[in-house]
Structure 1
Amino acid sequence: MAVRTTLTWNEEKSLQKLLGNVSLILLYKSTVHGNRISNMYNRCIRQGSTVTMIYCPKNSFGIFMLGHYPEISEGFRKLNSSIYFSFQKNKTMEMTAAFLNSTLKISNDQLEFQFPISPVQYLSLDLHKRTIVIPKLLVEKLGLNPDLGFRFLECEVFRVEGIKDAAGYINRITRATQHRNSLLADLRAYRPYADLVSEIRILLLGPVGSGKSSFFNSVKSIFHGHLTHQAIVGSDVTSITEQYRIYSVKDGKDGKSLPFMLCDSMGLDEKEGVGLCVADIPHILKGCVPDRYQFSPHKPITPKHPAFITSPSLKDRIHCVAYVFDINSIDNLSSKMVAKFKQVQKEVLNCGVAHVALFTKVNNCYEVLQDNFLKMNKSMISQSQIQNANKMLGIPLSNILVVENYASEREMDPLKDILILSALKQMFRAADDFLEDLPLE
């Protein structure tokens, strides 16, 4: 009779997302194979990389360890980067992970992970007593219940199969998370050029379904630390967004507003009288269109409209435009749509507003960035979609940005975050260039 794991399907998928396209093979289950370290050890020794899961009443807690379990006679094994993670039982889809250096010791009574900090902290697991003691370091990093020094319900160990490039695997994941956190810190510390405005405004322009609203949702999700869907998105042939929306983003649910706003517009359409009216764009760029203005494809806003802002200030203006494209459809843009974009670009250039191109729906963000996470791979830059956008819109390659928005996912991904945050940082730089280039008066 096959032994069934306590790990849920959603939790397993979250782990596979974190570790890559791997398989988890159940080696040991304490309630089936015995609550002794020797039982665990005999089933897990020389099995390669493992995931150890501890199921508690309010949390599921786990450790990914690269390489074999150490021999009992070895004492503490050498320092090793490991991934510690937890699932919240009241919201099982949310996983929190931390990348830490630790050493492991196996004795006749327990597993003991030592963290080389001052003072030294330990995580210990006693199978016979079914108790776990988790140090303050992990409680804080994983958002665990502070009273986690109690009995657990079950312990399981899985062999992890399918890890590529084992030598640099943990290092790459660790560096990705560190780079993501560095980008977050930079963006949180951002202030617009010379404090000319308190917040910059970035306008998202693109065809229907290109991912404008999804980009805003993705940015908000990163700063909130979990997935959110404030802006309505869809895949209809007509624009889901019919109002002009000016979205602010808070640093956390109850945090302060960050110094930028994302302005979402109606989708562009190749047909006349459908989608965003090109005549509305100069008014949007100059700051004359209020939040929640209802677009009319047949009738652009005029100064006679009761909501028209007649004397907009610099803070009301658009400081950067992001042309948003679905990377999978850029090569198939019709001549009419290209002509529409030329019209749009002319209006943007006439207003002197900075601009970038944002490609969404990239299939595999893991292949986009170089190992240093700072630049796109040359193979990505040479793709026909990138080259066509460069020729069609005349936008420098350095201002062509690629992202994979959050859509149907249920957990965050550090590499997706890097692409999204890097794109946002480039938009900030473009907005600063616009502000710096303003006339002295």
Structure 2
Amino acid sequence: MEVTPRLTWNEEKSLQKLLGNVSLRLLYKSSVHGNSFGTMLNKCSCQGSTILMVYLPNNVFGIFVLESYPEMSEHLKKPTTSFLLSFQKNKIMEMTAAFFNSTVDLIDNKLRFNFSQVQYVLLRSNTQNIFIPRLLGEKLGLTYDFKSQYTEYEVFRVEGMKDEPGYINRIAGATPHRDSLLAELRAYRPYADLVSEIRILLLGPVGSGKSSFFNSVKSIFRGHLTRQAIVGSDISSITEKYRIYSVKDEKDGKSLPFMLCDSMGLNEKDGVGLCVDDIPHILKGCMPDRYQFNPQKPITPKHPTFITSPSLNHRIHCVAYVFDINSIDNLSFQMLAKVKQVQKEVLKCGVSQVALLTKVNNCNGVLQDNFLQMSESMIYKSQVRDVNMMLGIPKSNILVVENYASEREMDPLQDILILSALKQMTRAADDFLEDLPLE
């Protein structure tokens, strides 16, 4: 008889995001196979990596174990790479995880996962209780000793898992680092409160990923994938209007203090794509939102919506040149000349510059394990060097991302690259504001 797991589709997808490209196979379900931990261990021993899911009214706890559960005849004291995770069932399902090594005790009707002498998870089969002490609970967002009755538990075999403790450590650390970046950007305020929000202008060839970057940023702060800006890969620009996009925070619905300004794509041919003569007006804040670009004619002060006296708030505070990282080596002489022409206008206005390289094929291999620096073995180092030489932008301001395109679910590692890029843009904008002459 086929047994249907209680684990929801969303919970399974969240686990797959955390663990990588894995599949989950149900081994044991207490409401069907019995509540005895001894029976469970006999059925689940020597099965490879497993995850025990414990279901409560408002939470779901999971304990992932990299190595196999030992057979009952063996000692259960061998430390194994593990981590504990928790789903909070609120409006947007959130998952937190904490990485440990653990040993397992089975005494009578008690199953205990020991993460240290004072940190453990205890389950009692006779009362169907789970207990988590405060020291461990704090890592899962709980501020008290947690004790509750569970309704049932399930054990899944994790198939397709890399059998490497270092890999587990990395993926378990990705979500907390992503959350730390989110908190930092939510708390961001422009330098000296000179403006209420900074404006970041996205410039680059057609199809480089400008609109997709905005969609990716918005998705992360919304907590789900969204595609407000129209994207495409046509040889002509999909974006035909100048757009000034605000980013709202899902937590409180308020706009965050940074705006992303999307422009028409650059084209190597004259009279096609973004008109270079529009650049100074954009940088100075004279171009209004939703202005319809004319590739052959720039905006003029006679235009009815032209902003004649822009404030510092209207100005661009950081320019991000966006390139498809896989096309850097194939930029034509004409396109490079067009980019240089645009950069000349940016330099005249003294606006800070960064470069954004999109469409990386493997975001997992871009960052070191601490998520703070690019990996020494990153395969895109030559492209970073080429952009550095081409535009004179410091390597620390050349940012590598993988935008969300065809994905249906979000990925913490992908989020880290996008948020790290946005964080560096805010720093560049602050440099511009700090460097303004005193009035």
What is the TM-score with the length of structure 2 in the denominator?
0.84
Question: Is contact 1:48–1:68 with CA below 8 Å preserved after alignment?
Answer: yes
Secondary structure of the 2:431 match is helix
Counterpart of 1:40 in structure 2 is 40
Which whole-Å deviations, capped at 9, do the CAs of 1:12-31 have from their partners, x for residues lacking one? 55433321244544433446
Counterpart of 2:418 in structure 1 is 420
Secondary structure of the 1:239 match is coil
Q: Specify the code of the residue in structure 2 equivalent to 1:67.
A: E
Which whole-Å deviations, capped at 9, do the CAs of 1:93-142 have from their partners, x for residues lacking one? x6734225577543443545578899x8856364x88x565869599859
Question: Is contact 1:331–1:384 with CA below 8 Å preserved after alignment?
Answer: no
CA distance in 1, matches of 2:346, 2:315: 12
**What is the CA distance between 1:6 and its match in structure 2?**
6.2
Which whole-Å deviations, capped at 9, do the CAs of 1:257-293 have from their partners, x for residues lacking one? 2221111111222223322111111100000011122
Counterpart of 1:208 in structure 2 is 206
- Alignment partner of 1:393 is 2:394: no
Would the alpha carbon gap of residues 410 and 124 (structure 1) be closer, same or farther in structure 2, given more than 3 Å must change?
farther
Would the alpha carbon gap of residues 116 and 228 (structure 1) be closer, same or farther in structure 2, given more than 3 Å must change?
farther
Counterpart of 2:106 in structure 1 is 106
**What is the CA distance between 1:316 and its match in structure 2?**
0.9
**What is the CA distance between 1:194 and its match in structure 2?**
2.4
Counterpart of 1:182 in structure 2 is 180
Which whole-Å deviations, capped at 9, do the CAs of 1:16-54 have from their partners, x for residues lacking one? 332124454443344664453333111112333212245
CA distance in 2, matches of 1:83, 1:302: 60
Q: What does 1:4-15 align with in structure 2 at a 5 Å threshold?
A: 12=12, 14-15=14-15
Counterpart of 2:349 in structure 1 is 351
Would the alpha carbon gap of residues 381 and 288 (structure 1) be closer, same or farther in structure 2, given more than 3 Å must change?
farther
Secondary structure of the 1:178 match is helix
Unmatched segments (≥5 aa) in structure 2 = none
Q: What does 1:132-281 align with in structure 2 at a 5 Å threshold?
A: 133=130, 137=137, 141=141, 149=149, 151-152=151-152, 155-164=153-162, 166-281=164-279
Question: Is contact 1:381–1:387 with CA below 8 Å preserved after alignment?
Answer: no
CA distance in 1, matches of 2:317, 2:284: 9
Which whole-Å deviations, capped at 9, do the CAs of 1:127-172 have from their partners, x for residues lacking one? x88x565869599859xxx9984634xx432233444363323322
Question: Is contact 1:70–1:106 with CA below 8 Å preserved after alignment?
Answer: no
CA distance in 2, matches of 1:30, 1:175: 30
Would the alpha carbon gap of residues 236 and 88 (structure 1) be closer, same or farther in structure 2, given more than 3 Å must change?
farther
Q: In angstroms, what is the RMSD of aligned CA positions?
A: 3.6
Which whole-Å deviations, capped at 9, do the CAs of 1:148-207 have from their partners, x for residues lacking one? 84634xx43223344436332332223333332332233223222222222111101112
CA distance in 2, matches of 1:5, 1:305: 62
Would the alpha carbon gap of residues 316 and 89 (structure 1) be closer, same or farther in structure 2, given more than 3 Å must change?
closer
Question: Is contact 1:105–1:113 with CA below 8 Å preserved after alignment?
Answer: yes
**Alignment length (residue pairs):** 431
CA distance in 2, matches of 1:230, 1:243: 14
CA distance in 1, matches of 2:256, 2:114: 38
Q: Specify the code of the residue in structure 1 equivalent to 2:377.
A: S
- Alignment partner of 1:322 is 2:320: yes
Would the alpha carbon gap of residues 243 and 296 (structure 1) be closer, same or farther in structure 2, given more than 3 Å must change?
same
Q: Specify the code of the residue in structure 1 equivalent to 2:123.
A: S
Question: Is contact 1:65–1:83 with CA below 8 Å preserved after alignment?
Answer: no
Q: Specify the code of the residue in structure 2 equivalent to 1:38.
A: G
Secondary structure of the 1:379 match is coil
Structure 1 residue corresponding to 2:406, chosen from 405, 408, 415? 408
Counterpart of 1:339 in structure 2 is 337
Which whole-Å deviations, capped at 9, do the CAs of 1:53-82 have from their partners, x for residues lacking one? 457899876432233436769688869641
CA distance in 2, matches of 1:200, 1:434: 10
Structure 1 residue corresponding to 2:372, chosen from 369, 374, 377? 374
CA distance in 2, matches of 1:104, 1:310: 71
Counterpart of 1:84 in structure 2 is 85
Which whole-Å deviations, capped at 9, do the CAs of 1:324-356 have from their partners, x for residues lacking one? 111112222222222211111111111111111
**What is the CA distance between 1:358 and its match in structure 2?**
0.1
CA distance in 2, matches of 1:33, 1:189: 49
Per mean C-alpha deviation after superposition, the further-off stretch among 362-371 and 60-69 is: 60-69
Secondary structure of the 2:377 match is helix
- Alignment partner of 1:96 is 2:121: no
Counterpart of 2:65 in structure 1 is 65
CA distance in 1, matches of 2:12, 2:80: 27
Question: Is contact 1:25–1:160 with CA below 8 Å preserved after alignment?
Answer: yes
Unmatched segments (≥5 aa) in structure 1 = none
Would the alpha carbon gap of residues 53 and 321 (structure 1) be closer, same or farther in structure 2, given more than 3 Å must change?
same
CA distance in 2, matches of 1:225, 1:125: 35
Sequence identity (%): 69
CA distance in 1, matches of 2:398, 2:89: 38
Would the alpha carbon gap of residues 254 and 346 (structure 1) be closer, same or farther in structure 2, given more than 3 Å must change?
same
Which whole-Å deviations, capped at 9, do the CAs of 1:220-249 have from their partners, x for residues lacking one? 222233322222222333322222111222
Q: What does 1:301-312 align with in structure 2 at a 5 Å threshold?
A: 301-312=299-310
**What is the CA distance between 1:367 and its match in structure 2?**
0.4
